[in-house]
Chains A and B, each alone.
Chain A
Amino acid sequence: MSKLMTMKDAVSQFVKSGDTVFISGAQHGAPNAAVAEIARQKIDRLTVITVLVGTNLLIGEGLTDRLITGYMMLDERRSYALQRARALNKFPIIEESSHFGIAMMLYAGYMGIPFMPTRCLVGSDMMKYNGDNLKTIKDPFGGGQVGVVKAVVPDVGIIHVQRCDAEGNAQKWGTLGVDHEGVNASKKVIVTTEKVVDADVIRRDPNRTIIPAFRVSAVVEQPFGAYPGHLAGCYDDPPRAFFAAMLGGQKAYEDYLNDVVYGVKDWNGYLDKLKAANGPDYFDKLKPKISRPSEPIFSGY
């Protein structure tokens, strides 16, 4: 059964006010088009769990009640998104961990177990201030003290991939950050994809499938859905994009908000604006300069 739908429908049907949302793409291929659509629909009271990606819009627009992260621009004097959230009286509760801590919270959710033991985080002050999620227990097998992180099962996980079939078998390559753990932990999954491909393409390289169709709720074809981030084999960052998302001030924030949310109907409108401003070959210029195919692998019987 095809799950193809518009971004608007996918977000309105599967992201609800009060949801815990996993946003994939730790530095690589974040679902920025989907995040913009959440902001456009003003879906609020969210708990957001993520590693490093640009969740600025969801914070600055006052849509995030709680942020579970290991690394963010958290200096209020430098982050306009935080200043704006404060002004709206929507400053999120921040639950800080480490990168591995976040990965394990999601991994525990993916495994269907309540917590995961670990040797990181123990003794740190994150344990002190994020005690609802991080604790130390006695190893029941006699190995001394061991840290534990609480499982997170997001209501919805959002991932952007290079290719996916209409039913939702999704394939992503390049670095995967916490994508595998995060989407597989999530109850509902929205896949946004550069390209919808035949199931046959998936089935000739099934090791690459990051989540199978039966776990996926919606498939959205959205070229450049991770712009202004990079996506392996597809496009590079425009100059300075990563830093702008983290450090941009009021003007950068408002410009981006207008570019992707209020000044356009949808993400394709934003892409059209970029082409109008920078020339029709703008996106061609972001293609990798050196691009080589992998050796084919053979399947069959």
Chain B
Amino acid sequence: MTEQKPNPGYTATDQMVISAAREIKDHDIVYVGVGLPMQAGLLAKNMHAPNATIIIENGIVRANLFPIPMATDTLGSQAFADQLSGLFYVMCLGQAGHISTGFLGAGQVDRFGNVNDTCVGDYRKPIHRWPGSGGGNDIMSFCHRTIIILEQDKRRFLEKVDFNTCPGYFDGKPGRREDVGLPPNTGPTAVITDLGLYGFEDREMVLKSVHAGVGVTLEKVKAETSWDLKVAPDLKDTVPPTAEELRAYRERIVAVRAAFGPPPGR
């Protein structure tokens, strides 16, 4: 697992998005947010999950394919959908338990799967501000499975998040979600980063595999984690992208995104 493969023909980001796409099963009802979640959702639909239904916050419900959009709501993501409604409607679908899978980006995530999309430091005097919940809190509150995707870095992988925008399992004690009024059988089930894949056992994040194909080691993962990380006894190397997955990702996602150009202000 610690073997270095300097030129595997794909990057850690490729692995992250492709691993995320694998989490989507055919016929899943998937709520996707902007950025990496949208990339993963559309990649899955282009490969092994053609019958997945994609739900987008502004009121878009569609089982048919569409080109990856620059933002969540574009003429392309709207046009020829199965249903166009509004935010209230699609969130009611979630609240009533009809959305199987949620995909969420994160500014910070912690040991018990709580996600911060709000601020670094104190809320009243933040060191850094993100745009806030958007639909993130709603997704994490409602979906049967929520998958969190982010680039891993010690400052973003914390024992406890600075601000709990989207509660996971709080302090990890049993029943916390139900106690505060969150629906049963919901919460984060996986975390996918550019270093490894994680699941949850007894509400605590557990490392399942490392992206050994791009040279990631367990030591590297631990170095980018701020708590004493629980590691699965049968820790594996992440299954590398197949040629077919890489081709779909590059043709359908990377190439289309490149055509947008870089956003201003970056």
Contact = CB atoms under 8 A, between A and B. Distances in A.
Contacts of A76: 129
* Dominant SS among interface residues on chain B: loop
Given A176-B85, A237-B74, A71 B137 contact: no
Query: Which interface residue of A72, A100, A126, A145 has the most chain B CB atoms within 10 A?
Result: A100
A228 interface: no
Contact of B264 (A27, A119, A252): A252
A243 B263 contact: yes
* Dominant SS among interface residues on chain A: loop
A179 B58 CA distance: 10
Interface stretch (A91-99, A153-161, A260-268): A91-99
Nearest to A288: B75
Interface residues of A, number: 65
B137 to A, nearest CB: 4
A104 B138 CA distance: 12
Interface stretch (B9-17, B65-73, B193-201, B242-250): B65-73
A129 B182 CA distance: 19
B137 A126 contact: yes
Interface in A175-220: 175-181
Nearest to B161: A125
Size band of the interface chain B makes with A: 35 or more
B137 A129 contact: no
B91 interface: yes
Contacts of B118: 96, 125-126
Nearest to A290: B79
Contact of A123 (B60, B132, B181): B181
Interface in B58-90: 58-60, 70-75, 78-80, 84-88
10 contacts: A70-B132, A98-B137, A119-B181, A123-B176, A124-B167, A174-B78, A176-B86, A177-B87, A244-B264, A290-B79
